[in-house]
A = this chain, B = another copy of it.
Amino acid sequence: MNSDNEIRPGEVVVPWRATEDAGIAFIGRIETPWKTRADCPRQGQMDGPLCQIILDEIWREALTGISRYPQLEVIYWLHLSRRDLVLQCARQDKVPRGTFSLRSPLRPNPIGTSVVKLEAVQDCRLVVRGLDCIDGTPLLDIKPDRHAF
């Protein structure tokens, strides 16, 4: 737990240790220009900087057909987040809000989702724009954006 995870005035935690009802597997990693949480944009933009999604080799065949989709949904694990906050203060916000009424990375299951623009597919590497996560974030899933259907 790093200093980003200190509790701010007005924030509330519950006495909860994350159970493990199921296990997730990191299937790759995400490379972005942002080295700390404070560097990350509040939300990704389709004209934001190029980022790379590097998928583990075993999943290569699962990318078949991906280049047909100009927009993808990317799901990742916000690995630096504490998981017990129920009320939290967003950056530059003095009013505590419920965790589920924020898209903050601090959540019981710290799963992030972004819709990205696919710029290129290079073997097991996708070049995309639209992410907002820290460099080195573990990858969980990639899907066509729901609006493709």
Task: Give me the interface of A with B, judged by CB distance under 8 Å.
Answer: 12, 14, 16, 18-27, 42-43, 58-66, 68-69, 72-73, 75, 77, 79, 83, 85-87, 96-103, 107-109, 111, 113-115, 138, 140-144, 146, 149
Contact = CB atoms under 8 A, between A and B. Distances in A.
Copies of this chain: 2
Contacts of A66: 98, 100-101
Nearest to A148: B103
B86 A62 contact: yes
B43 A61 contact: no
Given A64-B98, A107-B141, A109-B140, 11 more contacts: A14-B58, A19-B23, A25-B83, A62-B86, A63-B100, A64-B87, A64-B97, A75-B113, A111-B140, A113-B143, A114-B146
Nearest to A25: B19
A62 B144 contact: no
